[in-house]
């Protein structure tokens, strides 16, 4: 299958004054094939959301390339060329409470993108909004209501309709279920899965819940302190992790089934994720790695393919 979306050594640093720089994302290369779902996991503070936002142009990148259908996205995201491409790439945000403007009706929120990016009349925009409300399991009458009149799960459905009304090909789902009650998380994931199939979407699914990511994704990328440390088929990475960080992440992830969770000996990751302002020399995971060696503190391991597996790992053990 051909590559639809690709980042090549994508880097995003933020200057925070006094000569200090936050290394939020460092040289991340990730190619996503047409109709593929790639899950991006890691602790909070690992740079997952910044990667998603920079890839879509919601932050200007520091360096590296972003390609969509083989074409470079312009360096300046405000340019007209970028705006044209941008309708094919959309984002579903984490927090359905703060990402919807409380002063706009649901119809205005969902139809805003069409109003900006198409020459459709008010009537046909309303018809599209009604269609998309139905697609996400809401009623066309909901169009005239305001976001505060809806539950968290319904607001996330509104966010999904807003992203998909432009009929994008590539969607970044940034922790789309983490702010929702457990009881509605599966409904939203299933809705995304159905719409993905119907529309032939390609997704980057960002989350910290590994079992959920394994469930929805074809491949899984594991991020630590701004870099990808392991990448491979989702089931393989989950059941046979190779990078010490992935191993601990998998072992510390709660099992969805309470009975299995009770019997399990879980491991927790020692220490805190280091500050992205003072990125350690060598392997970024060295300060917390139970298998650290001398070389780890001196040389940065590159993400390399493992011979025997369909897997890429950044670790001196391989
Ligand atoms: Fe651990 Fe060294 Fe591998 Fe880093 S490179 S994960 S410190 S063994």
**Within a domain: 153:** no
**Within a domain: 30:** yes
**Within a domain: 45:** yes
Residue 150 token pair: 């809806």
**Within a domain: 298:** no
**Within a domain: 299:** no
Higher pLDDT, 41 or 258: 41
**Within a domain: 111:** no
Number of domains forming the structure of the chain: 1
User: Measuring from atom 5 of ligand 1, which residue has the nearest CA?
Assistant: 315
CA distances from 75 to 65, 72, 80, 81, 168 (A): 8, 9, 12, 11, 21
Centroid of ligand 1 to alpha carbon of 282 (angstroms)? 9
Are 92 and 144 spatial neighbours (Cβ–Cβ below 8 Å)? no
Centroid of ligand 1 to alpha carbon of 314 (angstroms)? 8
- Domain span holding position 212: 3-88+168-243
- pLDDT tens for 175-208 read 888 888 888 888 999 999 999 999 999 999 999 8
- 101-104 long-range contacts (CB < 8 A, ≥24 apart) are 101/147, 102/146, 102/147, 102/148, 103/146, 104/146, 104/147
- pLDDT tens for 58-98 read 888 999 999 999 988 876 655 566 666 778 899 998 877 78
Cβ–ligand 1 distance for 286 under 6 Å, the answer: yes
| Residue from 229, 283, 294, 295 to probe ligand 1 pocket by mutation (most atoms less than 8 Å from CB) | 283
Are 26 and 205 spatial neighbours (Cβ–Cβ below 8 Å)? no
Cβ–ligand 1 distance for 289 under 6 Å, the answer: yes
- CA distance linking residue 158 with residue 100, whole number of Å: 9
Mean pLDDT of 268-295: 88
Q: What are phi and psi of 310, to 5 degrees?
A: -80, 75
**Within a domain: 283:** no
Cβ–ligand 1 distance for 244 under 6 Å, the answer: yes
Cβ–ligand 1 distance for 277 under 6 Å, the answer: no
Cβ–ligand 1 distance for 77 under 6 Å, the answer: no
Would you list the DSSP string of 8-30?
Answer: EEEEEEEE-STT-EEEEEEEEEE
Q: Are strands 227-233 and 219-224 parallel, antiparallel or unpaired?
A: antiparallel
Cβ–ligand 1 distance for 316 under 6 Å, the answer: yes
Q: What is the CATH number of the domain that holds 222?
A: 3.40.50.300
**Within a domain: 34:** yes
């Amino acid at each position: 299958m051909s590559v639809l979306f690709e980042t090549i050594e994508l880097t995003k640093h933020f200057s925070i004054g006094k000569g200090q720089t936050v290394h939020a994302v460092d040289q991340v290369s990730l190619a996503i094939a047409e109709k593929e779902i790639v899950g991006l996991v890691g602790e909070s503070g690992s740079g997952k959301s910044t990667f998603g936002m920079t890839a879509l142009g919601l932050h200007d990148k520091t360096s590296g390339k972003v390609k969509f259908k083989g074409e470079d996205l312009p360096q300046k995201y405000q340019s007209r060329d970028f705006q044209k491409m941008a309708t094919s790439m959309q984002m579903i945000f984490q927090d359905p409470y703060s990402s919807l403007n409380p002063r706009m009706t649901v119809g205005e929120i969902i139809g805003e993108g069409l109003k900006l990016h198409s020459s459709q009349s008010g009537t046909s925009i309303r018809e599209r909004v009604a269609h998309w409300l139905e697609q996400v399991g809401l009623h066309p009458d909901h169009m005239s209501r305001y976001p505060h009149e809806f539950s968290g799960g319904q607001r996330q459905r509104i966010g999904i309709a807003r992203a998909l009304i432009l009929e994008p090909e590539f969607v970044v789902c940034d922790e789309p279920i983490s702010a929702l009650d457990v009881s509605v998380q599966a409904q939203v994931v299933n809705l995304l899965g159905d719409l993905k199939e119907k529309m032939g979407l390609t997704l980057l699914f960002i989350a910290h819940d590994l079992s959920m990511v394994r469930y929805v994704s074809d491949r899984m990328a594991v991020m630590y302190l701004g870099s990808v440390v392991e990448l491979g088929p989702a089931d393989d990475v989950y059941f046979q992790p190779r990078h010490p960080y992935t191993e601990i992440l998998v072992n510390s992830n709660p099992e969805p089934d309470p009975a299995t969770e009770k019997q399990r000996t879980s491991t927790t990751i020692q220490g805190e994720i280091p500050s992205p302002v003072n990125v350690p020399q060598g392997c970024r995971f060295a300060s917390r790695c139970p298998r650290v060696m001398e070389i780890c503190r001196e040389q940065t391991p590159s993400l390399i393919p493992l011979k025997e597996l369909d897997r890429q790992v950044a670790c001196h053990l391989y």
